[in-house]
Amino acid sequence: MRINRKRLEESMEALGRIGETPRGGLTRLALSDEDRHGRDLLVGWMRGAGLQVSVDQMGNIFGLRPGTEALPPVFMGSHADSVPTGGKYDGQLGVLCALEAIRSLDDEGRRTRHPVGMIIFTNEEGARFQPAMVGSGVMAGKIPLEDAYNARDRDGKRLGEELERIGYIGPEPCIPRPMRAYLELHIEQGPILEEEQVPVGVVEGIVAISWSRLTLHGVQDHAGPTPMRMRHDALVAAAEVVSGVREIPRQIRGNMVATVGRLDVTPNIPNAIPGRVTMSIDLRDPDEHNLSRAVGMVDRLVKAEARREGVTYELEHYWRVPRTAFDAEVVNTVERAAKSLGCGHRRILSGAGHDAQYMAAIAPTGMIFVPSRAGRSHCEEELTPMDDVEHGANTLLLAAAELAGA
């Protein structure tokens, strides 16, 4: 039993056109018009494949193919939103491989004891609304529904209202549901599989993640007649924090990564000393203890730099996802599937957060990685060769079929 490579490629192309950027990337922000069009296309395909489609309060979309027995389903899934000027593989690929796996079961007329389904999660990226992975987070009971609804984008629009506006606020409660397993195929977004020329990563777990928000308050003033000695420049303090955050992984060693991805200056004009800067700090480590050490280092760094420049600040560590180990049985099943295909595979840890991280709290969960060219993602250059996509999709199909009792 194998997936239909040509059909998968066609669906990747069709969905990739919705929100396509001039340079061949993708901008399909959560709950935007492009997100709605993408969802509509997917739901049409799901209905066309005979799936029973439903939507929950968080806009998560479910499609179910009945099993021969009244047992909990095996779900496959991922997300369909992207970052701004992102690529056509992150998220979208996992959703389309799930759909392709179900279509392939149909091609073969293969019945399964457990139902087999797919899930499209809302706002995985956290690009427009923070935090990330909010659809799965609410489902797993880790984020209150009201908090998710109240998240606001830069224009002050509420997530809840945007969900309603695009017509994807569903009637079903967003709560844990019985599942035989949850499987997610995703691009690696790192360099390892490509460097080792291995098409399939058997994901054992996900690193721990911490997100912080820092606001520095300086004294806004004219950039000309204000002597250097009188300045309290929020951006000068912010620059020292950016440099200091970059140094933290060097001090912690191992595989920690630390990133300031977002930084906004007020009033942000050439001839005013910046009065306020807000920034994000993203820390990740396979080891919970290292992550806690790094958070402490951020506390001390910000305090020291704020004092040095004479500015005040608020620092909030507002989101933390613990180190996640996936289910041993599911991981072994994925590994067996890759092995039976005869393609190269290796066990791997994910450095990126995924909906699978929250799903692991409420269902036996595993993931399949496929290589990212040059390790790159969250950019327009994102690419996975189609041969690798095919190996990954077949691994997903065989693992899901085995878990569902084909």
Within 71-100, the residues that bind a copy of itself by CB under 8 A are: 83-86, 90
Kind plus residue range of the DSSP H or E element containing 44: helix 33-48
The answer to whether 53 and 47 have CB atoms below 8 angstroms apart is: yes
Q: Closer to a copy of itself at the Cβ: 38 or 86?
A: 86
Gyration radius from the chain CA atoms:
22
Residue 262 interacts with a copy of itself (CB under 8 A)? yes
DSSP per-residue letters across 134-201:
HHHHHHTTSS-HHHHHH-B-TT--BHHHHHHHTT---SB--S----SEEEEEEE--SSHHHHHT-SEE
Q: How far is the CB of 201 from a copy of itself (least distance, A)?
A: 11
Determine which residue in the list 153, 240, 327, 402 makes contact with a copy of itself, applying CB under 8 A.
240
Determine which residue in the list 1, 14, 175, 230 makes contact with a copy of itself, applying CB under 8 A.
230
Residue 270 interacts with a copy of itself (CB under 8 A)? yes
d(CA 331, CA 64): 23
* Binding-residue pattern over the window 4 to 43 for a copy of itself, x denoting contact by CB under 8 A: ----------------------------------------
Determine which residue in the list 132, 138, 363, 368 makes contact with a copy of itself, applying CB under 8 A.
132
3-state secondary structure labels for all residues of 293-361 = HHHHHHHHHHHHHHHHHCCEEEEEEEEEECCEECCHHHHHHHHHHHHHHCCCEEEEEECCCCHHHHHCC
The answer to whether 258 and 212 have CB atoms below 8 angstroms apart is: no
Residue 63 interacts with a copy of itself (CB under 8 A)? no
Q: How far is the CB of 260 from a copy of itself (least distance, A)?
A: 6
Q: How far is the CB of 198 from a copy of itself (least distance, A)?
A: 15
Q: Closer to a copy of itself at the Cβ: 109 or 225?
A: 225
d(CA 139, CA 69): 25
- Counting Cα atoms < 13 Å in the Cβ hemisphere of 24 gives 4
Residue 249 interacts with a copy of itself (CB under 8 A)? yes
Residue 250 interacts with a copy of itself (CB under 8 A)? yes
Q: How far is the CB of 117 from a copy of itself (least distance, A)?
A: 27
Residue 209 interacts with a copy of itself (CB under 8 A)? yes
**Binding residues among 352-381 for a copy of itself as defined by CB under 8 A:** 352-353, 375-379
